Chains A and B, each alone.
Chain A
Amino acid sequence: MSEPLDLGLRAQAAAIAAGEVDAGELLDAALARIEQRNPALNAVVETFPERSREMLAAAPEGPLRGVPLVIKDEWPLPWRAQRFGAAELMVPTAPGESGPYRALRGAGATIVGVGNMHELGAGSTGAVSYYGAARNPWDTERCPGGSSSGPAAAVAGRLAAGAVGADGLGSVRLPAAYCGLTGLKPTFGSSAMAGHHMAPITTLIVSGPLCADAGDCRLLASALYGKELSTGDAAGLRIGVVRDPVSEDVTPEAAGACEEAIEALRAETGGELREIELPDLEAASLAGILIINSEAMGGATPRKLNRLSPELSPIARGTLKYGMLLPAAALAQGQRVRTLMRRRLAALFAGVDVIAWPTVPAPAPPLDAPVVELPSGTHSADQANVRGAALANLTGIPAISMPVGLSDDGLPLALQLQAAWGADELLLDAAEALERANGRRWVDAVPPPAEASAMEA
């Protein structure tokens, strides 16, 4: 057997259940690896060995018993309030038993550390954080994606076999894409959210798993959903594709890898491709931004904004203040666009099972210059990434990102599938079908030796 820590989530859980791996030793190995590799990745911002050992000692015989996992700095733990990757939040936070914590504890998992994240969840790169940027294990000079930057970097760097992130405008799928992982954005309201400081108000954010493959995501998602997600075969999958900048204004490498993957998925499932019309995706993207801004601004006052911590980044301070200036009419219009897109999707899903397009239009950009070169020109990665990610959050549908290739620079490329409300299991089935079709080539890919050496240094 390879190093137990290099096994996937299912394999770790099975090895522990079979008595082949000692859970205490696995936890120690995870802590040792974090100490060894994390300085190069900055994926994990805090460990708490005694708390982790207490969780393990009290772990029930659940499906994740003894498996060390990372949780994003977005939920409270009984011994730690979330920081949300920032020096200051607009609302108070406190330690407590969050929904994801209870879900993991109930499944027998051990939380080994807290994952870094983009400051205030307000970015898709992970380049800005109170803790400093997390780094991409495939190239530590590149963005790991965000906002669940640390969870993605931790799993890709094999610090843990799975992590819990949160997705408000792509924040699970985008880092999964940059780091070569599988990431699931559940149907809105399906996964544990209690304790999140925006849980009472958000209409966009969900918790979701980041793992190496779809099977591992299914296992971790089952804990987060509080029910076992069943397995199917995605036979006869009807795949919708759109002719829109979201699928065409992408790098040739991303386009080629995604087209190849879509065809492989069609062939594997004996399905069919259908070209569909889905206009106003840019309006949908902006609607998502406006709505999440309005939800995130809850608790902000001019008085608070005049006293922002100097430890907040200038970007955060500026965007928070600018957020107060956005016209209410635009938010109202955004809500109408939400309804419009929900109805269009409901109609489309009568004719297709999934809608496919690249998760990100280009692979991970450099941390010191997070911009991407697309056929339409140079864009900030945030601006480019949100347009393919926001629809699922805006409308509530589930979505999944899976690796489908590597760029010439050796960076992961990714495909996103979106399905109808409640069809989360179908997305996992489809991702597994694609893994079969390509021989698990991309889900089993690991960062190159040079980067691994940097992590060990």
Chain B
Amino acid sequence: MAENAPSGGGFIPAGLAALGIEADETELAVMAAVHGLIWPPLSELLALDTAHVEPERCPDLSRAPEP
């Protein structure tokens, strides 16, 4: 697992407990693996400065964005 990923051993059980979701050991192992893959790029995504991006309001994905 990447070093900057919060421990799946803490984040995942805490999140599941907060939502009242049960998981067996196999499911927890899957979640830990997914977490290890997704959390580092997710952290990078959250760190991306998009303040300059003016949001599209209800974008029509069949067309180019309005200029």
Q: Is B16 at the interface (CB under 8 A from chain A)?
A: yes
Q: Is A53 at the interface (CB under 8 A from chain B)?
A: no
Q: Is B15 at the interface (CB under 8 A from chain A)?
A: yes
- The secondary structure that dominates the B interface is helix
Q: Is A321 at the interface (CB under 8 A from chain B)?
A: yes
Whether the Cβ atoms of A321 and B23 lie closer than 8 Å is yes
**Closest B residue, CB atoms, query A315:** B30
Whether the Cβ atoms of B63 and A422 lie closer than 8 Å is yes
**Closest B residue, CB atoms, query A316:** B30
**Closest A residue, CB atoms, query B16:** A321
Chain B nearest Cβ from A45, distance in angstroms: 25
Whether the Cβ atoms of B30 and A305 lie closer than 8 Å is no
| Chain A contacts with B in 373-398, Cβ cutoff 8 A | 380, 383, 395-396
Q: A339-B55, A342-B56 are in contact. Are A330 and B42 (CB under 8 A)?
A: yes
Chain A nearest Cβ from B7, distance in angstroms: 13
Taking a contact as CB atoms closer than 8 A, the residue among B11, B33, B61 that contacts A395 in the complex is B61
Chain A nearest Cβ from B5, distance in angstroms: 13
Whether the Cβ atoms of A325 and B56 lie closer than 8 Å is no
Whether the Cβ atoms of B27 and A318 lie closer than 8 Å is yes
Q: A289-B38, A322-B34 are in contact. Are A329 and B46 (CB under 8 A)?
A: yes
Q: A314-B30, A329-B46, A333-B46 are in contact. Are A346 and B11 (CB under 8 A)?
A: no
**Closest A residue, CB atoms, query B34:** A322
**Closest B residue, CB atoms, query A204:** B61
| Chain A contacts with B in 306-330, Cβ cutoff 8 A | 306, 314-315, 317-319, 321-322, 324-327, 329-330
Taking a contact as CB atoms closer than 8 A, the residue among A318, A330, A383 that contacts B29 in the complex is A318
Whether the Cβ atoms of A189 and B61 lie closer than 8 Å is yes
For chain A, give the interface size range.
35 or more
- B residues in contact (CB < 8 Å) with A: 11-12, 15-16, 19-23, 26-31, 33-35, 37-38, 41-42, 44-46, 48, 50, 53-56, 59, 61-65, 67
Whether the Cβ atoms of A333 and B41 lie closer than 8 Å is no
**Closest B residue, CB atoms, query A387:** B41
Rounded to whole angstroms, the CA-CA distance of A345 and B64 in the bound complex is 8
Q: A203-B61, A319-B34 are in contact. Are A314 and B55 (CB under 8 A)?
A: no
Rounded to whole angstroms, the CA-CA distance of A203 and B58 in the bound complex is 11
Complex contacts, B34 vs chain A, CB 8 Å:
318-319, 322
4 closest pairs, A vs B, by CB? A318-B30, A396-B61, A189-B62, A188-B61
Complex contacts, B16 vs chain A, CB 8 Å:
321, 325
Whether the Cβ atoms of A339 and B63 lie closer than 8 Å is no
Rounded to whole angstroms, the CA-CA distance of A422 and B64 in the bound complex is 9
Complex contacts, A330 vs chain B, CB 8 Å:
42, 45-46
**Closest A residue, CB atoms, query B57:** A339
Whether the Cβ atoms of A333 and B27 lie closer than 8 Å is no
Chain B nearest Cβ from A144, distance in angstroms: 23
| Chain A contacts with B in 328-382, Cβ cutoff 8 A | 329-330, 333-340, 342-343, 345-346, 349, 380
Complex contacts, A184 vs chain B, CB 8 Å:
none
Q: A283-B44, A325-B16 are in contact. Are A337 and B50 (CB under 8 A)?
A: yes
Complex contacts, B20 vs chain A, CB 8 Å:
302, 306
Complex contacts, A326 vs chain B, CB 8 Å:
38, 42
Rounded to whole angstroms, the CA-CA distance of A367 and B39 in the bound complex is 26
Q: Is A42 at the interface (CB under 8 A from chain B)?
A: no
Rounded to whole angstroms, the CA-CA distance of A187 and B38 in the bound complex is 28
Chain B nearest Cβ from A322, distance in angstroms: 4
Whether the Cβ atoms of B45 and A337 lie closer than 8 Å is yes
Whether the Cβ atoms of B48 and A422 lie closer than 8 Å is no
Complex contacts, A104 vs chain B, CB 8 Å:
none
Q: Is A287 at the interface (CB under 8 A from chain B)?
A: yes
Whether the Cβ atoms of A286 and B12 lie closer than 8 Å is no
Q: Is A280 at the interface (CB under 8 A from chain B)?
A: yes
Complex contacts, A285 vs chain B, CB 8 Å:
41
Q: A333-B50, A334-B45 are in contact. Are A187 and B62 (CB under 8 A)?
A: yes
Whether the Cβ atoms of A342 and B64 lie closer than 8 Å is yes
Rounded to whole angstroms, the CA-CA distance of A148 and B37 in the bound complex is 24
Q: A280-B48, A282-B41, A283-B45 are in contact. Are A335 and B55 (CB under 8 A)?
A: yes
Complex contacts, A324 vs chain B, CB 8 Å:
15, 19, 21
